[in-house]
Amino acid sequence: MKVLIIEDENLTARRLESLLLKYDPSIEVLAKIPSVAKAVQWFRENPSPDLVFMDIHLDDDLGFRIFEQVQLLVPIIFTTAYDEYMIQAFKVNSIDYLLKPVNYEELVAALNKYQLLKKQAQAATPDLTTLLNLLGKPKETDYKDRFMVTVGTKIRSIETSEIAYFFLEEKVAFLVTQDGLHLPVDYSLDKLTQILNPRQFFRISRQYLVSLSAIETIHTYSSSKLKLDLKPKARHEVFVSGDRITDFKEWLGK
């Protein structure tokens, strides 16, 4: 089976490839593609794969936009950081989906469903109009409300309301809970900015994404820079980038 992975999180793409090979070592992952533009180019230059794993939110746009630019009839298993409203959409359209982080047992079930559809000669292609309407403008309840993170040998569910802020260190994103727990997450800060409620979280710099409740004190550091005291205390000095100060002040006032 030839598989294409369309996913902008490198760690997620590599983990998915590993799980696919665990399911069937003969699976060939043709490519791991991070954006709509690169996926469109790939499809135009290569034969269609047997199966596509596609993230919903990619670097440059919604993954569904790929199918507006190239005509494909290829089975798709979506991966998504969202839960209820997205799951409902997939069920209505008989499309397989996987919630991140991808669970091996759920992956097996999705692949088994694909094999069954293949035997029955049914194409698991999406109703793009319906799905795009559902994805057109996120509602308050559409934003991510929990994260599944690995703590030692266990997987723990962290409610978004428990998170004080996220920060980037050595190219790895960490979440910090209100009680001071630091945990790595399999998302970039760019992706986190897309999937978190903008009323609750603000990207103050390339390194920090903070919740309103985590801001303890704001200092005027210079005419073009603000310094924040966060709770729990951050490992680094935390500044609001100069080009984000106006938007940051507007966000505080909402």
Segment 103-157, tens digit of pLDDT: 899 999 989 888 887 776 555 555 555 555 555 444 454 688 889 887 777 788 8
**Shared domain check, 61 and 21:** yes
Give the residue carrying structure tokens 């003969």: 26
- Residue 62 vs residues 17, 78, 138, 149, 247: alpha-carbon distances, Å: 22, 12, 12, 25, 25
Residue type, 34: P
Cα→Cα distances 179→13, 158, 182, 232, 252, Å:
31, 12, 9, 7, 23
> 211 with 200: CB under 8 angstroms?
yes
The residue-averaged pLDDT of 191-220 equals: 92
Q: H-helix or E-strand containing 182?
A: strand 182-185
Which CATH number does the domain housing residue 104 bear?
A: 3.40.50.2300
pLDDT of residue 137: 46
The Cα angle at residue 232 between residues 230 and 237, in degrees rounded to 5? 45
**Which of 19-28, 93-102, 123-132 is the least confident region?**
123-132
Residues 121 and 151 in one domain: no
Tell whether 106 and 154 lie within a shared domain.
no
Question: Is residue 242 within 8 Å of residue 205, measured between CB atoms?
Answer: no
> Do 138 and 74 contact (CB within 8 A), yes or no?
no
Q: What is the mean pLDDT of residues 82-96?
A: 52
Strand partners, 222: 225
Q: Does residue 234 share a domain with residue 125?
A: no
Task: Convert the pLDDT of each residue in 223-245 to its tens digit.
Answer: 678 999 999 999 889 999 888 89
Asked whether residue 21 carries a pLDDT value surpassing 70, the answer given is: yes
Query: Looking at per-residue confidence, does 52 or 129 come out higher?
Result: 52
Q: Which of 92, 109, 139 is the last residue of a domain?
A: 139
Does residue 105 sit in the same domain as residue 156?
no
> What confidence category does residue 93 fall into, taking pLDDT thresholds of 50, 70 and 90?
very low
Judgement on whether residues 107 and 206 belong to the same structural domain of the protein:
no
Q: Are residues 65 and 150 in the same domain?
A: no
Asked which of 116, 139, 162 is the last residue of a domain, the reply is 139
Pairs from 225-229 (Cβ < 8 Å, separation ≥ 24): 228/204
Of 84, 82, 105, 110, nearest to 3 (Cα)?
110
Residues in CB range of 155: below 8 A, 6 or more apart: 148, 149
Whole domain around residue 222: which residue ranges?
146-253
93 and 8 together in one domain? yes
Q: How far apart are the first and last CA of the chain?
A: 51
Strand bridging mode 201-203 / 182-185: unpaired
Please state, for a pLDDT cut of 90, what percent of the chain lies above it: 43
Q: Residue 57 is encoded by which pair of tokens? A: 């939110």
What's the domain count of the chain? 2
Does residue 98 share a domain with residue 47? yes
Q: Assess whether pLDDT exceeds 60 at residue 32.
A: yes
C-alpha distance from residue 152 to each of 12, 101, 181, 183 (Å): 19, 16, 13, 10
Structure tokens at 144: 């991510």
Pair 116, 28 in one domain: yes
Of 139, 156, 175, the domain-final residue: 139
Confidence class for position 161, pLDDT limits 50, 70, 90: very high
- Joined together, the tokens standing for residue 85 give 């409203």
Residues 248, 173, single domain; the answer is: yes
State the pTM of this model. 0.54
pLDDT above 50 for 58? yes
Q: Which CATH number belongs to the domain containing residue 188 in this structure? A: 2.40.50.1020
Phi and psi for 224 in degrees, rounded to 5?
A: -125, 20
| Same domain, yes or no: 47 and 132 | yes
